[in-house]
Amino acid sequence: MVLYIHIPFCKKKCLYCDFLSFQPENYEEAYFDSLIKEIKEFTSTENINSVFFGGGTPTLPNEKYIYNILSTIYKKYKLSSECEITIESNPGTLTFEKLKTYRSIGINRLSIGLQSSNEKHLKTLGRIHSLKDFETNFEYARQAGFDNINTDIMFSLPHQSFEDFSEDIEYICNIDPEHISAYSLIVEEGTPFYDMPLDLPDEDTDRKMYSYCIDFLQEKGYHQYEISNFSKDNKECYHNKAYWKRENYKGFGLGAASLLEHKRLKNTENIKDYISGKYVKETQNLSKEEEMSEFMFLGLRMTRGINIMEFKNIFSVDIKDVFGLAIEKHVKCGLLKQEGNNIFLTRRGMDISNTVFVDMI
Ligand code: SF4
């Protein structure tokens, strides 16, 4: 089982962001009290293989809050000896002292949202930091002992040329993190970007950037293990893989989601309700059909794909009897490939994965 802790606070909202995050205002103390209460109320005897602090910006509040949460988790649950403990961060919110505290309380993986190495693009995105902030924070993280760092990068940004992006990706490789997540910008409804006239790269340029990213990173020793995720040897993110493999996960905090056996749960997104202890807002019992679909479209995100025997063991039915036609169609079109008992997306399939996923629902 893995645990997710949502910290919904950010210094300022980025212009493209549709995550559940806002400025802390007067909620901080009460939020963390309620979060700890929620963690104490949940019981599980399963081994915990990963804890992930996500947001928002979990590194924005004082580190004492993270310390208190982790202390509660250590007392309450059984963590495996290799447990991956990640904290997401944004440049400009990290100090050397903070990073040393994180390391000393057991956090062994740091994720830094850089998004772009180009100052002009950072401004366009409404990010709070400069490239210099990132460089200083990355250096502090190494000095504090972090040897497992992810860096997030985005492409297809307004006014971004292919050359701009190739400079970004080259820059990141020179910084040498252990893991890179690379996502294409999606302009979501309800964000300031949605109502702005944006000069975005066309679809061909977007795909050219993605393709270049895969090849360049591979050349630099990062293997692609999921549509948007790349890592050095033995540095794949356990937490992410747990989602795609449909391991049990429990999310704590505002808006957090959980998958517990055959149920999906969703916490309230209303901060006042959350603080008053009304945590879970929705519970959905998953049917066998829904679970089979999830197994397919989540599993196929990974480059290793899905395993036919695993499907049979879990669902007691032959994969061909459920998804046979869809698999055959996409193998014929060159979007899926079968090797032994594994079925996975081809390079072209990765490019237009939604075309495949839609047939698995
Ligand atoms: S830092 Fe991340 S979570 Fe916060 S506003 Fe920006 S994109 Fe959203």
For residues 87 and 102, the answer to whether their CB atoms sit within 8 Å is yes
Atom of ligand 1 nearest to the CA of 18: 8
Phi, psi of 108 (to 5 degrees): -120, 5
Atom of ligand 1 nearest to the CA of 21: 3
Domains and CATH numbers, the chain: 2-242 (3.20.20.70), 287-361 (1.10.10.920)
Q: What mean pLDDT do residues 145-150 have?
A: 98
Residue of 347, 287, 273, 282 whose CA lies nearest to 322: 287
Find out whether the beta carbon of 51 lies less than 6 Å from any atom of ligand 1.
no
Write out pLDDT tens, residues 93-122.
999 999 999 999 999 999 999 999 999 999
**pLDDT at residue 361, rounded to an integer:** 87
- Does this model's pTM top 0.75? My answer is yes
Tell how far CA 43 is from the center of its chain.
25
Residue of 246, 254, 247 whose CA lies nearest to 280: 254
Angle separating helix axes 288-299 and 319-332, nearest 10 degrees: 30
Q: What mean pLDDT do residues 277-282 have?
A: 97
The pLDDT-based confidence of 160 (bands split at 50, 70, 90) is very high
Is the pLDDT confidence value at 77 over 90? yes
Q: Which of 18, 23, 53, 57 to mutate to test the pocket of ligand 1 (most atoms within 8 A of CB)?
A: 57
Q: Cβ of 343: how many Cβ atoms within 10 Å?
A: 22
Atom of ligand 1 nearest to the CA of 90: 1
Find out whether the beta carbon of 193 lies less than 6 Å from any atom of ligand 1.
no
**pLDDT at residue 149, rounded to an integer:** 98
Find out whether the beta carbon of 56 lies less than 6 Å from any atom of ligand 1.
yes
**pLDDT at residue 208, rounded to an integer:** 96
**pLDDT at residue 26, rounded to an integer:** 86
Write out pLDDT tens, residues 215-247.
999 999 999 999 999 999 999 999 999 999 999
**pLDDT at residue 24, rounded to an integer:** 87
Write out pLDDT tens, residues 2-33.
999 999 999 999 999 999 999 988 899 999 99
Q: Which of 6, 10, 11 to mutate to test the pocket of ligand 1 (most atoms within 8 A of CB)?
A: 10
Find out whether the beta carbon of 14 lies less than 6 Å from any atom of ligand 1.
yes
What string of DSSP letters covers 51-83?
EEEEES-TTSS-HHHHHHHHHHHHHHSEEEEEE
Burial code of 9-37, b = ≥16 C-beta within 10 A, e = fewer?
bbeebbbbbebbbeebeebeeebbebbbe
Residue of 258, 282, 286, 260 whose CA lies nearest to 269: 282
Residue 55's beta-bridge partner residues?
Answer: 7
